[in-house]
Amino acid sequence: MIYIVFKEDLIMKFTCETEKLSQACQNVQRAVSTKTSIPAVECILIKALTGELSLTGYDLEFGINTSIKAKVEEAGGILINARILCDILKKLPGETVSIEADERQLARITSGEAKYNIMGMSAEEYPELPSVTGGFPITLPQDVLKEMVRQTIFAVATTDTKIVHTGIKIEIGERIIRLIAVDGFRLAIRKESIDYEGDTLSFVVPAKTLAEVVKLINDENSVISLGVGKRHIVFEIGGYSVVSRLLDGDFLNYKSAIPATGTTSVRVNTRMFIDSIERTSLIISDKITSPVRCLFNDNSIRISSSTAIGTATDKISAAVTGDAVEIGFNNRFLLDALRVSDTDEVKIDLNGAVSPILILPPENDSFVFLILPVRLKAE
């Protein structure tokens, strides 16, 4: 089939660096829907403006937009299937790429000797991204947000019937930002000081959104800006705007879930505790589940496990104050919390064999991890 494109029929034409366009499209593609009955949201919206391109991906709940420099000969826009466009851009041989589109929504992509003719869609069929305006601007270092998400996202619910628990709650006020995640078996809280003097804010962001925001962090010394509306939030990060809906619902009253006092306090080397749990968990698998037993007593922790395969025991030193406690845990839940603890030592507060435990830094509460125990059978 031969396509003839007349100049007067062009609705868009531009040239830009192949690598920059490819990288931008790869990032924007993360917000493109792959399971939808709406063809338009399987596409990337390309708008050629004066001296730049605007690229947008949006799945009706989560969207990413960015701009890159380009030589624009004809301003306009088109929708091109995101997967096809990204695959083509990754394989192009030339340092620059030219894309032009005509009134029939036929896009011609040229780079070096490679040429593609791809049917697109009208840019007018694309849904409009929500706008988030007003409110006090919130900024914090990118590396701080990255660490805060890393230290909470592991505790987000994946199968909870309450959709609100599939997100991370963010509380901002009194110059503190706090992230909270819960999945019914554990709770993770991470807080940091922040330069913010506006109204107290509380909202829940889908975990997927925060995971994608973290992936866009490319300069940890820069800041990220947050704009919060009634139903949506926008993150401005490294030339990208990430817009997401907020989750509705009653989030767990996490403050009431945290025990006020404990009868036993333990300080232990984080790495040593992780290694010991990993050793005794070698006989535990997805098919052969069993809790790890931890006996906190006499300035030591005795860790053991028993399954149909056999038994494993280990013992490490620790500073134990208070009553002796033998308690059982899901080994994965315990390891998840310890692995994101960013201190050489952790403090563990216990209140008997059937109450949740708390894992904290030795000297403050910048992070708090709560884990429900598993009831042990008599040996």
pLDDT single digits (tens) 15-44? 999 999 999 999 999 999 888 889 999 999
How far is the C-alpha of 149 from the C-alpha of 178, rounded, in Å?
A: 10
- The residue-averaged pLDDT of 269-279 equals 97
Q: What is the pLDDT of residues 71-86, one digit of tens each?
A: 999 999 999 999 999 9
In this prediction, residue 197 carries a pLDDT of 82
Res 269 pLDDT > 90 = yes
- In this prediction, what percent of the chain has a pLDDT beyond 90? 82
Q: Which residue has the higher pLDDT, 289 or 13?
A: 13
Q: Which CATH class is domain 7-125?
A: alpha beta
User: 3-state class of 141 per DSSP?
Assistant: strand
- The residue-averaged pLDDT of 123-149 equals 89
Amino acid identity of residue 206, one-letter, is P
Q: What is the pLDDT of residues 285-304, one digit of tens each?
A: 877 678 999 999 999 999 99
CB 83 within 8 A of CB 43: no
- The residue-averaged pLDDT of 141-160 equals 93
In this prediction, residue 254 carries a pLDDT of 93
In this prediction, residue 133 carries a pLDDT of 78
CATH code of the domain occupying 258-371: 3.70.10.10
Q: What is the pLDDT of residues 226-258, one digit of tens each?
A: 999 989 999 999 899 999 999 999 999 999 999
In this prediction, residue 6 carries a pLDDT of 47
Amino acid identity of residue 110, one-letter, is T
In the chain, ranges of CATH 3.10.150.10 domains: 7-125, 138-253
CB 296 within 8 A of CB 324: yes
Res 165 pLDDT > 80 = yes
CB 58 within 8 A of CB 28: no
In this prediction, residue 262 carries a pLDDT of 87
Average pLDDT, the chain: 92
Q: How confident is the model at residue 196 (pLDDT cuts 50, 70, 90)?
A: confident
Whole-angstrom CA distances from 27 to 41, 47, 368 are: 15, 16, 33
Q: How confident is the model at residue 375 (pLDDT cuts 50, 70, 90)?
A: confident
CB 111 within 8 A of CB 18: yes
Res 50 pLDDT > 50 = yes
**DSSP track, 12-66:** EEEEEEHHHHHHHHHHHHTTS-SS-S-GGGGEEEEEEETTEEEEEEE-SSEEEEE
Res 1 pLDDT > 50 = no
Q: How confident is the model at residue 379 (pLDDT cuts 50, 70, 90)?
A: low
In this prediction, residue 221 carries a pLDDT of 79
How far is the C-alpha of 298 from the C-alpha of 324, rounded, in Å?
A: 8
Within 13 A of 124's CA, how many CA atoms are on the CB side?
3
Q: How confident is the model at residue 160 (pLDDT cuts 50, 70, 90)?
A: low
Q: How confident is the model at residue 9 (pLDDT cuts 50, 70, 90)?
A: confident
In this prediction, residue 182 carries a pLDDT of 96
How far is the C-alpha of 202 from the C-alpha of 170, rounded, in Å?
A: 6
Pseudo-torsion of CA 282, 284, 290, 295, nearest 10°? 10
In the chain, ranges of CATH 3.70.10.10 domains: 258-371
In this prediction, residue 33 carries a pLDDT of 86
In this prediction, residue 288 carries a pLDDT of 65
Q: Which CATH class is domain 138-253?
A: alpha beta
